[in-house]
Amino acid sequence: MEGTGLALMNRTPEPSRAQAAPRQAQARPLFAGLGPLGALPTAPRLARAFTGLVLAGWGLARLTEDCGLIISELTSNVVRAATGPDGQPRYDVHGRLPVLWLRLSSDRAWLWLEVCDNLTPELGVPAPRQAAATDETGRGLELVSALSQDWGWDVFPGNDVKRVWAALA
């Protein structure tokens, strides 16, 4: 599984609709990746802790809170999509656990946060909801939008990897 994840991580998505989406994150002066991690309830906390450590190392600790929230929302969305109605992970036809991974990159002007997963788009794609005042859920992507300058999502060629990203100035 690890080999597959690393191969996926190193791929570049097709041009995105948004200019701010990173093309080759690894080519940026600052790059850090985590995963693949099983898309399990433990993943968001680990992803958030990793993000905080990386940002501190890059001298961007002031962004830790906002980025931690964004990463929590994006990874939680993957975990939710990766979990079946019985509460169990949606193993694929080969019995493999769904995975997610993170890419953080910066050119010192912009910071990009990317959360990728290997769930087929048939299981859902990011779609901001119009949460009513009484709704307890449906605000995650709204929060991502509020905390970032831009965000978006795309699917890699072959439909086997989905990426949701947010960019902060």
Per CB under 6 A, residues contacting ligand ATP are: 73, 77-78, 80-81, 117, 119, 124-129, 137-142, 162, 164
SS3 39: coil
Q: Does 33 bind Mg ion (CB under 5 A)?
A: no
Length of the chain, in residues? 169
Nearer to ligand ATP, 78 or 168 (CB): 78
Residues 96-115, mask of contacts with Mg ion (x by CB under 5 A): --------------------
User: In angstroms, what is the minimal distance from the CB of 26 to ligand ATP?
Assistant: 22
Among Mg ion, ligand ATP, none, residue 113 binds (CB under 5-8 Å by kind): none
CA distances from 52 to 59, 66, 89, 105, 169 (A): 11, 10, 27, 13, 17
Dihedral over alpha carbons 70, 165, 1, 37 (to 10 degrees) = 0
Query: How many beta carbons lie within 10 A of that of residue 122, not counting itself?
Result: 7
Q: Does 77 bind Mg ion (CB under 5 A)?
A: yes
**Which residues would be at the binding site for Mg ion (CB under 5 A)?**
77, 140
